[in-house]
């Protein structure tokens, strides 16, 4: 382990000590925080998500809190998705776009009440953006980053673990719905969510001094189910077709290009950020789209995120935005962000660092 010296520029989550105690061997940076990415056995960590239950320190998923009379108005200005029917206790996946219609964050919005919302953000400073909008538009709302840190339990056995700790009411929660609760006096919010398609919950810790205690409660309850530490897994999320905004997108990517069109509402008020550009793009039709790539060969390749060129008849037609070995498909798979002329069923060549590689275009998700 390297030594880490937390500062304002490199923060740790309340679960960091637990991650270290569990044997964390690799980490990444997300929202200027350390995000554990492996505990030394990626294969076992993957299968735990697919077949069992995996416990993740995802405290890096920070909350941008909107509080005050104009909280709902600000949420709708920021998010290009109709929120008018969003209920208290409901979460929604929302693209955040700039004035050009570029999607630069894709939070889950949690509506606590008419004057209290959280955006559970991906990796960049939505806080800065939201504050600028508040000042520019003269809104009556306070934007802050509260002491809230999610921990995820993912996999087919996650529900049994969470129910054994909190009660059977959690089984009734619908996707992205949430409820406030507490366990051993620790305040939490419980949501059916998580960055995998294997099912599960996120437990939002609302007292950063209690991270180790909360981690251990779920770790102990998970023992009969074979719980173990893990992290958002590139192989699982790629097989499942989940988008990583900032990873699979660039400074020109709009939501329609990356299968997020169903989360955009064109009939939101005209003061919603990016909506004029999104309406224009929707009427003209996007120029690129996102497809899956199945690469030739059956030797696992290292993870790739370098936007390698995709060639068709010797010409660049798009980019491979990620690449990972799929244990279930026994192939290297990735996403193409590619001109709409190229369709599923087509064959392309990827200009890999290791040399050219043939690949087949398929619809997403893979599984
Ligand atoms: N949980 C929480 N916060 C987060 C994430 C999370 N913040 C950062 C990041 N992840 C945000 N991005 C996503 C991306 C996809 C999904 C959730 C958060 C997701 N999508 C499903 C899909 O695309 O199939 C379902 C979307 C739907 O049908 O509404 O789950 O994971 N707290």
Ligand 1 center–CA 349 separation, angstroms: 31
Residue 277 domain flag: yes
Q: What is the pLDDT of residue 1?
A: 57
CA dist 209 and 355 (Å) reads: 50
**Judgement on whether residues 221 and 318 belong to the same structural domain of the protein:** no
**Structural contact between residues 25 and 38, judged by C-beta atoms closer than 8 angstroms:** yes
Comparing CA positions, the residue from 56, 68, 69 lying closest to residue 16 is 56
**Judgement on whether residues 58 and 95 belong to the same structural domain of the protein:** no
Residue 42 domain flag: yes
Q: For residue 316, give the CATH number of its domain.
A: 2.40.30.110
Secondary structure class of 281 (helix, strand, coil): helix
Ligand 1 center–CA 91 separation, angstroms: 10
Residue 2 domain flag: no
**Judgement on whether residues 245 and 354 belong to the same structural domain of the protein:** yes
Residue 3 domain flag: no
Comparing CA positions, the residue from 140, 125, 94 lying closest to residue 272 is 94
The residue behind tokens 């949420």 is 75
Question: For ligand 1, is residue 89 a contact (CB within 6 Å)?
Answer: no
The residue behind tokens 């509506």 is 111
Helix (H) or strand (E) holding 322: strand 315-326
**Judgement on whether residues 178 and 306 belong to the same structural domain of the protein:** no
Range(s) of the domain holding residue 20: 16-62+147-237
Residue 278 domain flag: yes
**Structural contact between residues 339 and 287, judged by C-beta atoms closer than 8 angstroms:** yes
Comparing CA positions, the residue from 181, 185, 180, 71 lying closest to residue 117 is 71
Pairing of strands 178-183, 149-154: unpaired
Residue 90 domain flag: yes
**Judgement on whether residues 25 and 171 belong to the same structural domain of the protein:** yes
Comparing CA positions, the residue from 229, 259, 265 lying closest to residue 245 is 259
Task: Examine the fold and report which residue of 76, 109, 144 is the final residue of a domain before the chain moves on.
Answer: 144
Tokens of 55: 């416990």
**Judgement on whether residues 49 and 179 belong to the same structural domain of the protein:** yes
Residue 54 domain flag: yes
**Judgement on whether residues 179 and 321 belong to the same structural domain of the protein:** no
Tokens of 262: 């169903």
**Judgement on whether residues 52 and 163 belong to the same structural domain of the protein:** yes
Task: Examine the fold and report which residue of 91, 126, 144 is the final residue of a domain before the chain moves on.
Answer: 144
Closest C-alpha residue for ligand 1 atom 9 = 122
**Structural contact between residues 17 and 1, judged by C-beta atoms closer than 8 angstroms:** no
**Structural contact between residues 256 and 282, judged by C-beta atoms closer than 8 angstroms:** yes
Q: For residue 217, give the CATH number of its domain.
A: 3.30.1360.120
Residue 330 domain flag: yes
Quote the number of domains for the chain. 3
**Judgement on whether residues 255 and 324 belong to the same structural domain of the protein:** yes
Pairing of strands 228-230, 54-57: parallel
**Structural contact between residues 16 and 152, judged by C-beta atoms closer than 8 angstroms:** no
**Judgement on whether residues 261 and 345 belong to the same structural domain of the protein:** yes
- Please list the alpha-helical segments (H only) found in the chain: 16-21, 42-51, 71-78, 126-137, 158-166, 211-221, 234-239, 275-284
Helix (H) or strand (E) holding 289: strand 288-295
Integer CA distances (angstroms), 53 to 37, 158, 188, 273, 310, in order = 16, 5, 20, 39, 36
Ligand 1 center–CA 234 separation, angstroms: 14
User: How is residue 11 annotated by DSSP?
Assistant: B
Q: What is the pLDDT of residue 2?
A: 62
pLDDT mean by block of 10 residues, the chain; 367 residues: 74 97 96 96 97 98 98 98 98 98 98 98 96 97 98 98 98 98 98 98 98 98 98 98 97 98 98 98 97 96 92 97 97 98 98 94 98
Helix, strand, coil % over all residues of the chain, rounded to 5: 25, 35, 40
**Judgement on whether residues 292 and 199 belong to the same structural domain of the protein:** no
**Judgement on whether residues 36 and 167 belong to the same structural domain of the protein:** yes
Those residues with Cβ within 8 angstroms of residue 317's Cβ, 6 or more apart along the chain or in another chain: 310, 311, 338, 339, 341, 342, 348
Question: For ligand 1, is residue 126 a contact (CB within 6 Å)?
Answer: no
Helices 211-221, 158-166: inter-axial angle, 10-degree rounding: 110
Q: What is the pLDDT of residue 4?
A: 72
Which atom belonging to ligand 1 lies closest to the Cα atom of 92?
29
pTM across the whole model: 0.97
Which atom belonging to ligand 1 lies closest to the Cα atom of 365?
24
Task: Examine the fold and report which residue of 124, 144, 164 is the final residue of a domain before the chain moves on.
Answer: 144
- Taking the CA atoms of the chain, what radius of gyration do you get in angstroms? 21
Ligand 1 center–CA 326 separation, angstroms: 21
């Amino acid at each position: 382990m390297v030594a880490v010296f937390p500062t304002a520029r490199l923060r740790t989550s309340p679960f960091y000590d637990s991650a270290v105690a569990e044997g964390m061997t690799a980490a990444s940076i997300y929202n200027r925080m350390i995000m554990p990415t492996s505990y030394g056995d990626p294969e076992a960590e993957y299968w735990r998500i697919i077949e069992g239950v995996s416990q993740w320190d995802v405290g890096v998923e920070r909350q941008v809190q909107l509080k005050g009379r104009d909280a709902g108005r600000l949420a709708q200005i920021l998010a290009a998705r109709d929120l008018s029917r969003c209920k208290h206790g409901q979460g929604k996946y929302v693209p955040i776009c700039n004035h050009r219609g570029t999607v630069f964050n894709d939070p889950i919005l949690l509506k606590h009440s008419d004057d209290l919302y959280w955006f559970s953000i991906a990796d960049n400073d939505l806080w800065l953006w939201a504050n600028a909008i508040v000042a520019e538009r003269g809104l009556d709302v306070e934007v802050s980053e509260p002491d809230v840190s999610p921990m995820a339990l993912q996999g087919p056995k996650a529900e049994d673990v969470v129910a054994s700790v909190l009660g059977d009411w959690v089984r009734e929660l619908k996707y992205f719905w949430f409820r406030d609760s507490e366990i051993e006096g620790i305040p939490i919010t419980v949501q059916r969510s998580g960055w995998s398609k294997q099912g599960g919950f996120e437990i939002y810790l609302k007292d950063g001094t209690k991270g180790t205690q909360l981690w251990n409660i779920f770790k102990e309850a998970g023992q009969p189910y074979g719980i173990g530490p893990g992290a958002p897994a590139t192989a699982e999320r790629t097989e499942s077709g989940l988008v990583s905004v900032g990873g699979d997108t660039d400074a020109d990517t709009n939501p329609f290009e990356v299968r997020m069109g169903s989360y955009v509402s064109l009939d939101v008020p005209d003061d919603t950020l990016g909506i004029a550009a999104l309406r224009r793009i929707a009427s003209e039709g996007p120029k690129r789209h996102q497809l899956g790539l199945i690469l030739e060969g059956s030797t696992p390749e290292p993870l790739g995120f370098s936007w390698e060129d995709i060639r068709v008849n010797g010409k660049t037609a798009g980019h491979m935005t990620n690449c990972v070995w799929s244990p279930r498909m026994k192939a290297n798979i990735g996403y193409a962000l590619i001109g709409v002329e190229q369709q599923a069923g087509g064959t392309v060549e990827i200009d890999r660092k290791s040399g050219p590689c043939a690949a087949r275009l398929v619809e997403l998700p893979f599984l």
